[in-house]
Structure 1
Protein backbone atom coordinates (compact mmCIF):
# COMPACT_ATOMS: atom_id res chain seq x y z
CA UNK A 1 0.00 0.00 0.00
CA UNK A 2 1.50 3.25 -1.19
CA UNK A 3 0.80 5.35 1.91
CA UNK A 4 1.98 2.71 4.41
CA UNK A 5 5.28 4.42 5.14
CA UNK A 6 7.39 5.43 8.13
CA UNK A 7 6.54 3.46 11.27
CA UNK A 8 4.06 1.31 9.28
CA UNK A 9 6.46 0.34 6.48
CA UNK A 10 7.47 -3.26 5.79
CA UNK A 11 6.10 -6.61 4.69
CA UNK A 12 6.42 -8.43 8.03
CA UNK A 13 4.05 -7.43 10.85
CA UNK A 14 6.29 -9.09 13.43
CA UNK A 15 9.23 -6.90 12.39
CA UNK A 16 7.01 -3.85 12.86
CA UNK A 17 5.87 -5.14 16.26
CA UNK A 18 9.47 -5.71 17.39
CA UNK A 19 10.44 -2.23 16.23
CA UNK A 20 7.61 -0.58 18.12
CA UNK A 21 8.33 -2.66 21.23
CA UNK A 22 12.00 -1.60 21.14
CA UNK A 23 10.98 2.06 20.93
CA UNK A 24 8.57 1.61 23.83
CA UNK A 25 11.34 0.09 25.96
CA UNK A 26 13.17 3.43 25.91
CA UNK A 27 10.11 5.68 26.30
CA UNK A 28 7.54 3.84 28.43
CA UNK A 29 8.21 4.38 32.16
CA UNK A 30 6.78 1.07 33.37
CA UNK A 31 6.05 -2.35 31.89
CA UNK A 32 6.43 -1.63 28.18
CA UNK A 33 5.52 -5.30 27.55
CA UNK A 34 2.17 -5.08 29.38
CA UNK A 35 -0.78 -6.24 27.30
CA UNK A 36 -4.50 -6.57 28.00
CA UNK A 37 -5.40 -10.19 27.30
CA UNK A 38 -9.00 -11.03 26.41
CA UNK A 39 -10.62 -14.47 26.66
CA UNK A 40 -14.15 -15.85 27.09
CA UNK A 41 -15.51 -18.31 29.62
CA UNK A 42 -17.81 -21.27 29.03
CA UNK A 43 -20.87 -19.00 28.93
CA UNK A 44 -19.30 -16.71 26.36
CA UNK A 45 -18.74 -13.97 28.96
CA UNK A 46 -15.61 -11.95 28.09
CA UNK A 47 -12.75 -11.61 30.54
CA UNK A 48 -9.74 -9.28 30.42
CA UNK A 49 -6.57 -8.84 32.46
CA UNK A 50 -3.01 -7.50 32.10
CA UNK A 51 -0.16 -9.91 31.39
CA UNK A 52 3.42 -9.40 30.23
CA UNK A 53 4.55 -10.25 26.71
CA UNK A 54 7.80 -12.23 26.94
CA UNK A 55 8.65 -13.16 23.34
CA UNK A 56 7.84 -12.27 19.76
CA UNK A 57 8.92 -15.38 17.87
CA UNK A 58 9.19 -16.02 14.16
CA UNK A 59 8.40 -13.94 11.12
CA UNK A 60 5.97 -13.64 8.24
CA UNK A 61 3.16 -16.18 8.47
CA UNK A 62 4.92 -18.17 11.20
CA UNK A 63 5.24 -15.56 13.92
CA UNK A 64 3.66 -15.65 17.37
CA UNK A 65 3.50 -13.85 20.71
CA UNK A 66 4.34 -15.67 23.96
CA UNK A 67 3.39 -15.02 27.58
CA UNK A 68 3.54 -17.20 30.71
CA UNK A 69 1.03 -18.03 33.41
CA UNK A 70 -0.52 -20.70 35.61
CA UNK A 71 -2.44 -23.09 33.36
CA UNK A 72 -5.01 -23.60 36.14
CA UNK A 73 -5.81 -19.87 36.41
CA UNK A 74 -9.04 -18.45 34.99
CA UNK A 75 -7.28 -17.30 31.81
CA UNK A 76 -5.47 -20.62 31.51
CA UNK A 77 -8.70 -22.59 31.75
CA UNK A 78 -10.50 -20.29 29.32
CA UNK A 79 -7.72 -20.48 26.74
CA UNK A 80 -7.45 -24.24 27.08
CA UNK A 81 -11.20 -24.56 26.47
CA UNK A 82 -11.41 -22.30 23.41
CA UNK A 83 -7.90 -22.25 21.92
CA UNK A 84 -8.40 -18.56 21.12
CA UNK A 85 -7.49 -15.18 22.60
CA UNK A 86 -6.96 -11.52 21.76
CA UNK A 87 -4.80 -8.79 23.22
CA UNK A 88 -3.96 -5.13 22.88
CA UNK A 89 -0.72 -3.36 23.79
CA UNK A 90 -1.07 0.40 24.21
CA UNK A 91 1.89 2.73 24.70
CA UNK A 92 0.84 6.16 25.95
CA UNK A 93 4.35 7.54 25.45
CA UNK A 94 4.34 6.65 21.75
CA UNK A 95 0.59 7.12 21.21
CA UNK A 96 0.46 3.75 19.47
CA UNK A 97 -1.16 0.39 19.96
CA UNK A 98 -1.13 -3.12 18.52
CA UNK A 99 -4.19 -5.37 18.52
CA UNK A 100 -3.96 -9.12 17.92
CA UNK A 101 -6.54 -11.90 17.53
CA UNK A 102 -5.49 -15.48 17.12
CA UNK A 103 -5.30 -19.13 18.05
CA UNK A 104 -3.40 -20.31 21.09
CA UNK A 105 -1.18 -23.29 21.85
CA UNK A 106 0.95 -24.11 24.87
CA UNK A 107 4.64 -23.30 25.02
CA UNK A 108 5.49 -26.12 27.37
CA UNK A 109 9.01 -27.25 26.50
CA UNK A 110 12.59 -26.04 26.69
CA UNK A 111 11.69 -22.40 26.00
CA UNK A 112 9.31 -22.40 28.97
CA UNK A 113 11.94 -24.10 31.14
CA UNK A 114 14.54 -21.49 30.16
CA UNK A 115 12.25 -18.57 30.92
CA UNK A 116 11.21 -20.05 34.25
CA UNK A 117 14.86 -20.57 35.21
CA UNK A 118 15.61 -16.91 34.38
CA UNK A 119 13.13 -15.62 36.95
CA UNK A 120 14.09 -14.58 40.47
CA UNK A 121 14.05 -17.45 42.96
CA UNK A 122 11.14 -15.99 44.94
CA UNK A 123 9.12 -15.68 41.74
CA UNK A 124 9.83 -19.31 40.88
CA UNK A 125 8.74 -20.42 44.34
CA UNK A 126 5.71 -18.16 44.09
CA UNK A 127 4.64 -19.99 40.95
CA UNK A 128 4.59 -23.21 42.97
CA UNK A 129 2.78 -21.60 45.91
CA UNK A 130 0.02 -19.64 44.17
CA UNK A 131 -3.23 -21.35 43.19
CA UNK A 132 -3.85 -18.50 40.78
CA UNK A 133 -7.43 -17.19 40.49
CA UNK A 134 -8.62 -19.44 43.36
CA UNK A 135 -9.83 -18.07 46.73
CA UNK A 136 -7.05 -17.17 49.21
CA UNK A 137 -7.48 -16.99 52.98
CA UNK A 138 -4.96 -14.19 53.52
CA UNK A 139 -1.68 -12.74 52.29
CA UNK A 140 0.02 -14.37 55.26
CA UNK A 141 -1.19 -17.75 54.00
CA UNK A 142 0.35 -17.04 50.58
CA UNK A 143 3.68 -16.01 52.12
CA UNK A 144 3.68 -19.14 54.25
CA UNK A 145 2.93 -21.30 51.20
CA UNK A 146 5.85 -19.74 49.33
CA UNK A 147 8.18 -20.35 52.28
CA UNK A 148 7.04 -23.99 52.42
CA UNK A 149 7.81 -24.42 48.72
CA UNK A 150 11.29 -23.07 49.40
CA UNK A 151 11.86 -25.88 51.90
CA UNK A 152 10.49 -28.47 49.48
CA UNK A 153 12.24 -27.35 46.28
CA UNK A 154 15.36 -25.57 47.55
CA UNK A 155 17.23 -22.97 45.53
CA UNK A 156 16.80 -24.54 42.09
CA UNK A 157 13.12 -25.45 41.70
CA UNK A 158 12.00 -27.05 38.45
CA UNK A 159 9.15 -25.50 36.50
CA UNK A 160 5.76 -26.56 37.88
CA UNK A 161 3.80 -28.82 35.51
CA UNK A 162 0.83 -26.46 35.84
CA UNK A 163 2.83 -23.36 34.84
CA UNK A 164 4.16 -22.43 31.41
CA UNK A 165 3.66 -20.44 28.27
CA UNK A 166 0.90 -19.72 25.83
CA UNK A 167 1.74 -18.93 22.22
CA UNK A 168 -0.72 -16.71 20.36
CA UNK A 169 -0.50 -17.16 16.59
CA UNK A 170 -2.33 -14.24 14.97
CA UNK A 171 -4.97 -14.50 12.32
CA UNK A 172 -5.36 -10.73 12.44
CA UNK A 173 -3.22 -7.83 13.66
CA UNK A 174 -3.83 -4.10 13.72
CA UNK A 175 -1.31 -1.29 14.08
CA UNK A 176 -2.68 2.05 15.26
CA UNK A 177 -1.00 5.43 15.71
CA UNK A 178 -2.49 8.64 17.03
CA UNK A 179 -3.18 11.35 14.47
CA UNK A 180 -3.94 15.06 14.76
CA UNK A 181 -7.61 15.94 15.26
CA UNK A 182 -8.34 12.23 15.88
CA UNK A 183 -7.52 11.37 12.27
CA UNK A 184 -5.61 8.30 13.39
CA UNK A 185 -3.72 5.84 11.19
CA UNK A 186 -4.92 2.22 11.32
CA UNK A 187 -3.69 -0.73 9.29
CA UNK A 188 -5.23 -4.18 9.67
CA UNK A 189 -3.21 -7.24 8.64
CA UNK A 190 -5.26 -10.34 7.78
CA UNK A 191 -3.55 -13.71 7.45
CA UNK A 192 -4.10 -15.45 4.13
CA UNK A 193 -2.77 -18.84 3.00
CA UNK A 194 0.43 -17.51 1.45
CA UNK A 195 0.72 -13.90 2.60
CA UNK A 196 -0.71 -11.16 4.77
CA UNK A 197 -3.22 -8.74 3.25
CA UNK A 198 -3.12 -5.16 4.57
CA UNK A 199 -6.06 -2.77 4.70
CA UNK A 200 -6.13 0.83 5.84
CA UNK A 201 -9.07 1.42 8.20
CA UNK A 202 -10.97 4.60 8.97
CA UNK A 203 -10.27 5.91 12.46
Structure 2
Protein backbone atom coordinates (compact mmCIF):
# COMPACT_ATOMS: atom_id res chain seq x y z
CA UNK A 1 0.00 0.00 0.00
CA UNK A 2 1.30 3.45 -0.91
CA UNK A 3 1.30 6.37 1.48
CA UNK A 4 -1.38 8.03 -0.65
CA UNK A 5 -3.70 5.10 0.08
CA UNK A 6 -3.43 5.43 3.86
CA UNK A 7 -6.65 6.94 5.18
CA UNK A 8 -9.21 6.59 7.93
CA UNK A 9 -12.81 7.70 8.14
CA UNK A 10 -13.61 9.47 11.41
CA UNK A 11 -16.89 8.77 13.17
CA UNK A 12 -16.41 8.88 16.94
CA UNK A 13 -18.12 12.18 17.74
CA UNK A 14 -19.42 15.50 16.51
CA UNK A 15 -18.89 19.12 17.52
CA UNK A 16 -21.45 21.94 17.36
CA UNK A 17 -20.70 25.62 17.73
CA UNK A 18 -24.05 25.88 19.50
CA UNK A 19 -23.17 23.35 22.21
CA UNK A 20 -19.55 24.10 23.09
CA UNK A 21 -18.63 26.16 26.16
CA UNK A 22 -18.75 29.93 25.84
CA UNK A 23 -15.11 30.15 26.94
CA UNK A 24 -12.54 28.13 24.94
CA UNK A 25 -10.41 27.41 28.02
CA UNK A 26 -13.44 25.76 29.61
CA UNK A 27 -13.98 23.77 26.42
CA UNK A 28 -10.30 22.79 26.41
CA UNK A 29 -10.63 21.61 30.01
CA UNK A 30 -13.54 19.36 28.99
CA UNK A 31 -11.61 17.82 26.12
CA UNK A 32 -8.40 17.50 28.13
CA UNK A 33 -10.30 15.68 30.88
CA UNK A 34 -11.82 13.34 28.30
CA UNK A 35 -8.40 12.68 26.77
CA UNK A 36 -6.99 11.88 30.21
CA UNK A 37 -9.85 9.55 31.11
CA UNK A 38 -9.43 7.81 27.75
CA UNK A 39 -5.88 6.97 28.89
CA UNK A 40 -4.35 8.46 25.78
CA UNK A 41 -0.54 8.30 26.01
CA UNK A 42 0.73 11.70 27.15
CA UNK A 43 -2.43 13.76 26.57
CA UNK A 44 -0.38 16.75 27.77
CA UNK A 45 1.98 16.53 24.79
CA UNK A 46 1.71 19.45 22.38
CA UNK A 47 3.57 20.85 19.41
CA UNK A 48 5.06 24.31 19.85
CA UNK A 49 5.76 26.23 16.65
CA UNK A 50 7.98 29.32 16.65
CA UNK A 51 9.42 31.55 13.94
CA UNK A 52 13.04 32.64 13.73
CA UNK A 53 14.33 36.10 12.78
CA UNK A 54 14.84 34.79 9.24
CA UNK A 55 11.16 33.85 8.94
CA UNK A 56 11.80 30.10 9.09
CA UNK A 57 9.29 28.21 11.28
CA UNK A 58 10.26 25.32 13.54
CA UNK A 59 8.23 23.03 15.76
CA UNK A 60 8.80 20.48 18.49
CA UNK A 61 6.84 18.48 21.08
CA UNK A 62 6.80 19.64 24.71
CA UNK A 63 4.59 18.86 27.71
CA UNK A 64 2.10 21.41 28.99
CA UNK A 65 2.30 21.84 32.74
CA UNK A 66 -0.60 24.18 33.45
CA UNK A 67 -3.50 25.90 31.77
CA UNK A 68 -6.06 28.37 33.06
CA UNK A 69 -7.69 31.64 32.09
CA UNK A 70 -4.24 33.27 32.04
CA UNK A 71 -2.88 30.94 29.34
CA UNK A 72 -1.04 27.71 28.58
CA UNK A 73 2.27 27.09 30.36
CA UNK A 74 5.32 24.90 29.86
CA UNK A 75 8.98 25.05 30.89
CA UNK A 76 12.22 24.99 28.94
CA UNK A 77 15.71 26.38 28.49
CA UNK A 78 15.45 30.05 27.55
CA UNK A 79 18.69 29.74 25.55
CA UNK A 80 17.33 26.92 23.37
CA UNK A 81 16.28 27.54 19.79
CA UNK A 82 12.62 27.82 20.73
CA UNK A 83 13.50 30.17 23.57
CA UNK A 84 15.53 32.49 21.36
CA UNK A 85 12.87 32.44 18.65
CA UNK A 86 10.13 33.16 21.17
CA UNK A 87 12.09 36.16 22.43
CA UNK A 88 12.63 37.45 18.88
CA UNK A 89 9.06 36.87 17.68
CA UNK A 90 6.68 36.52 20.65
CA UNK A 91 3.84 34.84 18.76
CA UNK A 92 3.61 31.06 18.73
CA UNK A 93 1.22 28.27 17.82
CA UNK A 94 0.40 25.21 19.92
CA UNK A 95 -1.18 21.99 18.69
CA UNK A 96 -2.70 19.10 20.61
CA UNK A 97 -3.52 15.98 18.59
CA UNK A 98 -5.49 13.28 20.38
CA UNK A 99 -5.56 10.63 17.67
CA UNK A 100 -7.65 8.13 19.60
CA UNK A 101 -10.44 10.69 20.03
CA UNK A 102 -10.03 12.02 16.48
CA UNK A 103 -9.47 15.51 17.83
CA UNK A 104 -7.12 18.44 17.45
CA UNK A 105 -6.87 21.73 19.33
CA UNK A 106 -4.96 24.61 17.74
CA UNK A 107 -3.93 27.55 19.92
CA UNK A 108 -2.34 30.79 18.75
CA UNK A 109 -1.24 33.73 20.82
CA UNK A 110 1.46 35.85 22.38
CA UNK A 111 4.13 34.27 24.57
CA UNK A 112 5.60 35.62 27.78
CA UNK A 113 7.83 34.35 30.56
CA UNK A 114 6.14 33.30 33.77
CA UNK A 115 7.31 34.87 37.02
CA UNK A 116 10.53 33.74 38.69
CA UNK A 117 8.44 32.48 41.59
CA UNK A 118 6.41 30.23 39.27
CA UNK A 119 9.56 28.89 37.63
CA UNK A 120 11.20 28.27 41.02
CA UNK A 121 8.15 26.44 42.32
CA UNK A 122 7.93 24.12 39.33
CA UNK A 123 11.69 23.51 39.20
CA UNK A 124 11.71 22.44 42.84
CA UNK A 125 8.85 20.00 42.15
CA UNK A 126 10.80 18.12 39.47
CA UNK A 127 12.73 14.91 40.18
CA UNK A 128 16.34 15.57 41.17
CA UNK A 129 17.70 13.97 37.98
CA UNK A 130 15.54 16.28 35.85
CA UNK A 131 16.72 19.31 37.79
CA UNK A 132 20.34 18.35 37.21
CA UNK A 133 19.65 17.66 33.54
CA UNK A 134 18.18 21.14 33.09
CA UNK A 135 21.35 22.64 34.54
CA UNK A 136 23.77 20.36 32.68
CA UNK A 137 22.31 20.61 29.18
CA UNK A 138 23.19 23.54 26.94
CA UNK A 139 20.04 22.88 24.99
CA UNK A 140 20.22 23.21 21.19
CA UNK A 141 23.99 23.71 21.18
CA UNK A 142 26.25 21.29 19.30
CA UNK A 143 27.96 18.61 21.41
CA UNK A 144 30.84 16.39 20.27
CA UNK A 145 29.35 13.09 21.42
CA UNK A 146 27.18 11.36 24.01
CA UNK A 147 30.04 10.88 26.44
CA UNK A 148 30.64 14.63 26.57
CA UNK A 149 26.99 15.18 27.44
CA UNK A 150 27.13 12.54 30.16
CA UNK A 151 30.29 14.11 31.58
CA UNK A 152 28.50 17.47 31.78
CA UNK A 153 25.75 15.77 33.78
CA UNK A 154 28.21 14.10 36.17
CA UNK A 155 30.07 17.37 36.70
CA UNK A 156 26.79 19.14 37.43
CA UNK A 157 25.81 16.39 39.84
CA UNK A 158 29.07 16.80 41.76
CA UNK A 159 28.80 20.58 41.86
CA UNK A 160 25.14 20.88 42.89
CA UNK A 161 24.52 17.78 44.98
CA UNK A 162 20.99 17.03 46.16
CA UNK A 163 19.74 20.62 46.32
CA UNK A 164 20.28 22.32 42.95
CA UNK A 165 19.02 25.84 42.39
CA UNK A 166 17.10 26.75 39.25
CA UNK A 167 19.47 28.33 36.73
CA UNK A 168 18.52 31.71 35.31
CA UNK A 169 18.42 30.29 31.77
CA UNK A 170 15.63 27.82 32.61
CA UNK A 171 12.00 28.65 33.32
CA UNK A 172 8.44 28.82 32.14
CA UNK A 173 6.62 30.32 29.19
CA UNK A 174 2.94 31.14 29.02
CA UNK A 175 0.98 31.53 25.80
CA UNK A 176 -1.86 34.04 26.10
CA UNK A 177 -4.29 32.85 23.42
CA UNK A 178 -6.22 35.00 21.00
CA UNK A 179 -7.34 32.14 18.71
CA UNK A 180 -8.32 28.61 19.72
CA UNK A 181 -9.73 26.11 17.26
CA UNK A 182 -11.35 22.77 18.14
CA UNK A 183 -11.32 20.13 15.41
CA UNK A 184 -13.38 16.96 15.50
CA UNK A 185 -12.94 14.38 12.76
CA UNK A 186 -16.10 13.44 10.87
CA UNK A 187 -16.97 10.99 8.07
CA UNK A 188 -16.10 11.80 4.47
CA UNK A 189 -13.65 14.50 5.61
CA UNK A 190 -16.58 16.77 6.50
CA UNK A 191 -14.93 17.63 9.80
CA UNK A 192 -16.33 19.89 12.51
CA UNK A 193 -14.23 23.00 13.21
CA UNK A 194 -15.15 25.58 15.82
CA UNK A 195 -12.95 28.67 16.11
CA UNK A 196 -12.85 31.07 19.05
CA UNK A 197 -11.41 34.55 18.45
CA UNK A 198 -10.69 36.98 21.27
CA UNK A 199 -12.04 40.46 20.54
CA UNK A 200 -10.37 43.74 21.49
CA UNK A 201 -12.67 43.88 24.52
CA UNK A 202 -11.38 40.51 25.72
CA UNK A 203 -14.54 38.57 24.92
CA UNK A 204 -14.60 35.38 22.85
CA UNK A 205 -16.53 35.00 19.61
CA UNK A 206 -17.33 31.59 18.10
CA UNK A 207 -17.38 30.66 14.42
CA UNK A 208 -17.82 27.43 12.48
CA UNK A 209 -15.19 26.88 9.80
CA UNK A 210 -15.58 24.75 6.71
CA UNK A 211 -13.38 21.66 6.70
Match of 1:108 among 108, 115, 127: 115
Distance 1:19 1:150 in 2: 41
Larger Rg, first or second structure (1 or 2): 2
Q: CA deviation at 1:194?
A: 3.6
Consecutive unaligned residues of structure 1, counting only runs of 5 or more, are none
Match of 2:32 among 9, 15, 21: 21
Q: CA deviation at 1:5?
A: 4.8
Consecutive unaligned residues of structure 2, counting only runs of 5 or more, are 1-15
Give the number of equivalent residue pairs: 195
The reply on whether 1:150 has 2:157 as its aligned counterpart is: yes
Q: Which segment drifts farther, 147-156 or 97-106?
A: 147-156
Corresponding residue number in structure 2 for 1:44: 55
Greater relative contact order: 1 or 2 (C-alpha under 8 angstroms, separation 6 or more)?
2
TM-score (norm 2): 0.88
Q: Which segment drifts farther, 64-73 or 148-157?
A: 148-157
TM-score (norm 1): 0.92
The reply on whether 1:197 has 2:197 as its aligned counterpart is: no
Give a deviation string over 1:18-70, Cα, whole Å, max 9, x none.
Answer: 11111112324422111111111111011111111111022xxxx30001100
Give the secondary structure class of the aligned counterpart of 1:160: coil
Distance 2:135 2:202 in 1: 42
Within 5 Å, give how 1:5-84 maps onto structure 2.
5=18, 9-58=20-69, 63-84=70-91
